[in-house]
């Protein structure tokens, strides 16, 4: 009873604060009508939407944060897999927690009310409705890059949408312009190519996976004008393949997502004969990329991966590109700092793979 009364008092005070401000009604990215303050000064970003606040350089407005965003270690994996976290790691611990967080999880309503945000941001429509009804705090739903099928336009639309709400229109335009420039450069360099065949293995999706975890319509391969062998399945997004199918495809190049590198190593030691049948392994054309799925999609890593893959497959066309320097530039553009060294200290991305009798190594 006491908790219920306290919640009602907090809600009353919150609503009084909100309606003392000038308000507007908007349509969020799920088609919901939401009334919000015209000037949003305090936000709580749930279910991994915090990365967009970091991208838009609006982290100073964060009033509360999920517990998973405070942890250096999440489920045994170092949080550097979230590149955006590296840009805020020294500041997250001073911000009040609004619950543990994570995909599909609701915040602690009392803690959320206590930090008194002007707005809550989430990817999850059902949770948005419930949070708003229980707390009286406006909640908007945004789009994100789904593992079920990635569309760069969804991210760019989200930048524009949040840019208007947070008065960060210029920053949104800057990011979208940079994304377009990168994709246009990659596509220009690979136009009229001979379309070598490529397979991306060990892609992370709700955890680490082995060589049979891949992705159809993988954006970097689409931009690079190569043949993603998994596209033969006519599916979209993350997919598990039958390992024998990889032998049938026998791609020219294989790239391993280092989020699942240890699992590939373990599998190789148990199934060496299978791996030795792969043309890419026999001819020394197996490489690593950084994992881009870590608490949802990390856009800056995806773009950096595209340049590295391009350099490997088309060394002459990407002769002016140093993949590490380009990755550093991309990280600075999206995050304000270069986090390449932090990523490299944890993951063995952007290297050539050697399959030895005792283990897999990366150079």
Task: Check whether residue 146 and residue 244 sit in a common domain.
Answer: no
Q: Are residues 164 and 231 in the same domain?
A: no
Domain count, the chain: 2
Print the domain residue range for 110.
2-175
Same domain? 151 vs 293: no
pLDDT in tens, the chain (363 residues): 555 555 555 555 555 554 557 999 999 999 999 999 999 999 999 988 999 999 999 999 999 999 988 875 444 445 566 889 889 988 988 999 999 988 789 999 999 999 999 999 999 998 999 999 999 999 999 986 554 566 888 899 999 999 999 999 999 999 999 999 999 999 999 998 889 999 999 998 877 899 999 999 888 999 999 999 999 998 888 899 999 999 999 999 999 999 899 999 999 999 999 999 999 999 999 999 998 877 678 899 999 999 999 999 999 999 999 999 999 999 999 999 999 998 888 888 899 999 999 999 999
Could you tell me if residue 64 is inside a domain?
Answer: yes
- Domain contains 124: yes
Q: Tell me the CATH number at 116.
A: 3.40.50.1980
50 contacts: CB under 8 Å, gap ≥ 6: 62, 65, 66, 69, 84
Residues 163 and 262 both lie in one domain: no
Tokens of 298: 């990390």
Going by C-beta distance under 8 Å and a sequence separation of 6 or more, which residues neighbour residue 124?
46, 47, 104, 141
Residue 357 inside a domain? The answer is: yes
Phi, psi values for residue 72, rounded to 5°? -75, -30
Angle between helices 299-313 and 169-189 (to 10 degrees): 20
Answer yes or no: is 186 within a domain: no
Domain boundary among 175, 200, 231: 175
């Amino acid at each position: 009873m006491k908790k219920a009364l306290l919640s009602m008092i907090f809600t009353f005070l919150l609503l009084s604060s909100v309606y003392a401000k000038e308000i507007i009604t908007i349509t969020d990215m799920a088609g919901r009508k939401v009334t919000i303050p015209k000037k949003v000064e305090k936000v709580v970003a749930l279910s991994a939407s915090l990365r967009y606040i970091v991208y838009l350089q609006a982290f100073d407005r964060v009033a509360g944060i999920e517990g998973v965003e405070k942890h250096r270690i999440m489920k045994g994996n170092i949080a550097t897999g979230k590149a955006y976290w590296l840009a805020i790691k020294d500041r997250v611990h001073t911000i009040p927690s609004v619950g543990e967080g994570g995909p599909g999880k609701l915040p602690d309503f009392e803690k959320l009310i206590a930090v008194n945000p002007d707005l809550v941001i989430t990817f999850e429509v059902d949770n948005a409705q419930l949070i708003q009804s229980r707390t009286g705090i406006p909640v908007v739903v945004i789009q994100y890059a789904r593992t079920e099928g990635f569309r760069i336009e969804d991210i760019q639309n989200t930048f524009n949408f949040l840019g208007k709400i947070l008065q960060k229109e210029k920053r949104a335009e800057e990011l979208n312009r940079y994304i377009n420039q990168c994709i246009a450069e990659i596509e220009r360099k690979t136009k009229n190519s001979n379309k070598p065949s490529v397979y991306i293995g060990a892609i992370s999706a709700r955890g680490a996976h082995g060589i049979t975890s891949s992705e159809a319509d993988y954006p970097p391969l689409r931009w690079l004008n190569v043949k993603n062998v998994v596209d033969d399945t006519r599916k979209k997004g993350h997919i598990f393949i039958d390992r024998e199918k990889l032998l049938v495809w026998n791609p020219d190049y294989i790239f391993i997502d280092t989020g699942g590198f240890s699992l590939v190593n373990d599998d190789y030691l148990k199934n060496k004969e299978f791996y030795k049948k792969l043309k890419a392994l026999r001819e020394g054309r197996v490489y690593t990329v950084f994992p881009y799925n870590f608490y949802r999609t990390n856009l800056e890593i995806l773009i950096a991966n595209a340049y590295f893959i391009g350099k490997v497959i088309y060394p002459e066309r990407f002769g002016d590109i140093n993949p590490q320097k380009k990755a550093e530039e991309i990280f600075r553009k999206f995050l304000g700092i270069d986090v390449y060294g932090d990523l490299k200290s944890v993951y063995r991305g952007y290297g050539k793979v050697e399959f030895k009798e005792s283990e897999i190594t990366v150079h």
